[in-house]
Structure 1
Amino acid sequence: MCVSYWLRAVMSHVSTDSVRLVSGSGLCSGSVQIWDQSWTWLCEEALDLLGAEVLCRELGCGAPSILQGAVSPLGVQTFYCEGHESALRDCPRSGSWNCSSGAAVNLTCSEPLRLVGGASRCAGPVEVKHRGEWRRGANYDLWVGWDLGATAAVCRELDCGSAVSGEERGGFPESRVWIISSDCVKKSTVTECVTHSSSSSSSSSRGLDVVCSDLLNRPIISLSVLDGASEALPQGVRVMPGSKFRVKCSVEPQFPGGSFQLLSPTVNLTQNHTLPAVNHSAHFLFSDTGPAHKGNYTCVYLLQVFDHAFSSQSHALQLYVGDSDSHLIFRVLVVLLSIVTIVLLLFYCCKVRARGGARETPEVELELDVFSSS
């Protein structure tokens, strides 16, 4: 491998003559520094989103995905970008941006790497943005070849799970490509492993085809009550005991076929928890809702494609069984009100009886006095 590959592999940031990202977790993330006679830190709230877009583009990265502690209130940022500028210094600015490292803005831009032409963003030919130009990637190490180790590095960089398959093949439209070292990407990022050799300017019909494990879209789970009352909650749905409800698993059209498995807390072994996907969805019916149905429900989409088994899991939907908190509170209030009413009635009756007894006492005394005098 060329020495230049190793030099690029040890770099922890991307930079231009005037701006750079340092101490980040990836090539296109880190704290922002600007050249002003020396490298100085860019302060928090110095950028708005338009300024972040300009900065990411200047660094040769994709769109900003995270701008921590930096989204400036309207009208108070240091750089006033319109979004079309090619460099941050082209934006009008006011005030100083120099601050300590502890108050510097942290920026994460999307990596200049993508898979195109596949059924999802986690499958397809590799394309790399280098020197401001997107091109198909081709392998550099002819003797080593493109293997699963290099494929795993691409999947990891794209946050697409683990490697399923990867190969270099022909049959692509003739076009200029970026030459990539398969051995280099196992130790560094793809963009740091693009060669600057003259072969990069030549046309080729070859390219890298990659399939990652997070190929499938995430399924969607929803719940509807067929009879009885229900209440939508931020974490799920509440249904009344004895109700019938239906859980729907669905997925955006991507591949034909497949099946859905429903993970649920029910212990009814006769319930079919795996159904084929019909029109990219499946419905699971439940009746006579009781305490056993309470808990989390999750859809798992299963599919065999490219001679491999894939799966994708939805977020969990929580089912509550019983009266809502408002109903319980209402019932408690009714009981308390009834108790208070009964107590008041008893108190009133006792008071009335006490008054009646007080009126009878003088008459008794009078009768006793008369009897005594006679």
Structure 2
Amino acid sequence: MWTQQRNFFYLTIVSYLFASSASAEIRLAGHQSGLCSGRVEISYSNRWGTVCDDDWDLNDAQVVCRQLDCGTALAAPKKAHFGDGSGLIWLDDVSCSGNERSIIQCQHRRSGKNSCTHNKDAGVICSGVPVRLSGSTLCSGRVEIFYNNTWGTVCDDNWDMNDTEVVCRELGCGTAQSAAVSASFGEGNGSIWLDDVSCSGSESSLTECQHRGFGTHDCTHSKDAGVVCSVILPKPRIFMSHAGEVEWRSDVSITCSISPQSQQLLQGEFTLKQISGSFSQKKTSTTNSATFKILNVDFDKDGLYQCEYSHDSSISTSDSVTVSVTVSLQQPNISVTSPDGGLVEVPDGSEIISGYSFVFTCTNNENYPGGVFNLILYGSNMKRTKHTKPSVNNSASFSFPVADFGHDGRYSCVYETTLSARTFTSPEASSIHIIIIHSIISVLRCVFLPLILLLENIALHFYYKVIKKQKSDKKENNETDVSRAEEVEAEEAVQEIE
């Protein structure tokens, strides 16, 4: 119990001394440290010491970054990330809410002799001293930095392209275009924070470059430095109202948009371009999107399209979308008639009596100019025959004056139209099966006539046979009569002799 009270008393006294000490300072040091990154060190009673990393987190780092005017905390490195310090370890078990103005205002305990070693020295990585451009565009203007809770300018002494390159990179802009001097973007006001800045060009922030120190200068605002950087624009998105194919002579809408990083980016220009054609439209937009309409689409609008977004001479290009112009033809209708009544409908199709005429009619409801109908015959021998006629009032008739057995097969219609040198073909109509049959007269002629002839021949045969027999019998009778007469005469002669 006494030990806990003693520790609490000791912590209270140390905290009070740190909180009330006007001489307590903070700095960042160590290997590869910078103005806003390094090992955290605190000076107390003119002696510099480190902070142990027990319970060290982003809230603690945020307080340090704020205290140093280094923006927001990006990381809270532990285990002597920036190298081992030396001397005393002033603080341990630091616990900040993140809102404190100084690290010594956070809850902590002073390290005991053996509770922590320098291989656990805490560090911070801050975003750096905030930098902005005061000008008309996102990536060009007068350079201003935020230090000691105040925005101030930079003197143009020794200001060059290396310094500009660092500022452009720090602001997320593109490459350095020019180093502006002599208050090219107008005179600022308030403090002049930096002078004689000398960057190698590889620094991550302007405050890491060599300079005379914050607030030390021999300038006036007539020498405020500025930069002109290219703009790294976000990649535009492209969206088409008709995904896939676009019907010929219809309208299509294509929308280009960006996700702006700044309101200043909303003052750019969208361009919709046909990659392999001549189509190009531009629109200046105060919002993050622009919609382009292509009316009455023809085949010359077929192809790939891209969106371009331009701002401050910088251009960003979207992915591409395909406008595929097509003609969707409906399935035509087909019917068959026989003007002279030679058509008989049967379950398997339509029977046409041999020798009679028949007519196929193909129709559709298309509104395309011109076009032809093809009547296709798939014969019994699987041979494909095509007859072609122009479409007149969405119809074409195919006449066959005399049906014969070569007309047997399945018939179908196909519609074709040629638009802008492209030919489009409809699906085939439902087929009609034509069966050619003999006529009644032909049946009689082919069946009964030979039978009649046969019967006639048989009748003639028997007729001549009867006639012949009759003649033979008559002859025999005549011969008998002669013999009988001779016998009578002989008998009469004998009687006379006697």
1:133 deviates by: 4.3
Distance 1:78 1:107 in 2: 16
Which residue is 1:93 aligned to?
108
Residues 1:241 and 1:209: Cα distance change in structure 2 (over 3 Å): same
| Structure 2 letter corresponding to 1:180 | D
Counting only pairs closer than 5 Å after superposition, residues 138-149 of structure 1 correspond to structure 2 as: 138-141=155-158, 146-149=159-162
Q: Per the alignment, in what secondary structure is the counterpart of residue 131 of structure 2?
A: strand
Distance 1:270 1:173 in 2: 49
Q: 1:110 aligns with which of 119, 123, 127?
A: 127
Listed one character per residue, the Cα deviations across residues 283-322 of structure 1 (whole Å, up to 9, x for unaligned) are 356999xxx999xx9743224x4xxx222456x6999xxx
Which residue is 2:67 aligned to?
58
Greater strand fraction, Structure 1 or Structure 2: 2
1:207 deviates by: 0.5
Which residue is 1:166 aligned to?
179
Listed one character per residue, the Cα deviations across residues 214-248 of structure 1 (whole Å, up to 9, x for unaligned) are 2x65365253645xxxxxxxxxxxx5766967332
Q: 2:192 aligns with which of 137, 160, 177?
A: 177
1:138 deviates by: 0.7
Listed one character per residue, the Cα deviations across residues 88-138 of structure 1 (whole Å, up to 9, x for unaligned) are 22211369795786x877743222141232245532211234456431111
Q: Is the 8 A contact 1:22 1:29 kept in 2?
A: no
1:47 deviates by: 1.9
Q: Is the 8 A contact 1:166 1:210 kept in 2?
A: yes
Distance 2:286 2:266 in 1: 8
Counting only pairs closer than 5 Å after superposition, residues 113-132 of structure 1 correspond to structure 2 as: 113-130=130-147
Q: Is the 8 A contact 2:271 2:307 kept in 1?
A: yes
Q: Is the 8 A contact 1:20 1:59 kept in 2?
A: no
What is the root-mean-square deviation in Å for CA atoms of aligned residues? 4.8
Bigger relative contact order, structure 1 or 2 (CA pairs below 8 A, ≥6 apart): 1
Q: 1:260 aligns with which of 265, 270, 295?
A: 270
Alignment: residue pair count: 265
Which residue is 1:137 aligned to?
154
Distance 1:26 1:111 in 2: 9
Q: Is the 8 A contact 1:125 1:210 kept in 2?
A: yes
Distance 2:321 2:75 in 1: 30
Structure 2 unaligned spans of 5+: 1-23, 80-91, 323-498
Q: 2:279 aligns with which of 258, 263, 272?
A: 272
**TM-score, normalization: structure 1?**
0.53
Q: 2:57 aligns with which of 44, 47, 50?
A: 47
Identical pairs, percent: 23
Distance 1:197 1:89 in 2: 24
Which residue is 1:81 aligned to?
96
1:21 deviates by: 5.7
Q: Is the 8 A contact 2:195 2:212 kept in 1?
A: yes
Q: Is the 8 A contact 1:219 1:299 kept in 2?
A: no
Residues 1:258 and 1:20: Cα distance change in structure 2 (over 3 Å): closer
Q: Is the 8 A contact 1:116 1:123 kept in 2?
A: yes
Larger radius of gyration: 2
1:279 deviates by: 4.4
Distance 2:138 2:98 in 1: 26
Residues 1:168 and 1:85: Cα distance change in structure 2 (over 3 Å): same
Q: Is the 8 A contact 2:134 2:143 kept in 1?
A: no
Q: Per the alignment, in what secondary structure is the counterpart of residue 167 of structure 2?
A: helix
Residues 1:198 and 1:92: Cα distance change in structure 2 (over 3 Å): closer
Q: Per the alignment, in what secondary structure is the counterpart of residue 125 of structure 2?
A: strand
- The yes-or-no answer on 1:310 pairing with 2:327 is no
| Structure 1 letter corresponding to 2:283 | P
| Structure 1 letter corresponding to 2:237 | I
Listed one character per residue, the Cα deviations across residues 41-94 of structure 1 (whole Å, up to 9, x for unaligned) are 525x6224x433211112331122456799xxxxxx944324342222221136
Distance 2:264 2:211 in 1: 32
Q: Is the 8 A contact 2:160 2:179 kept in 1?
A: yes
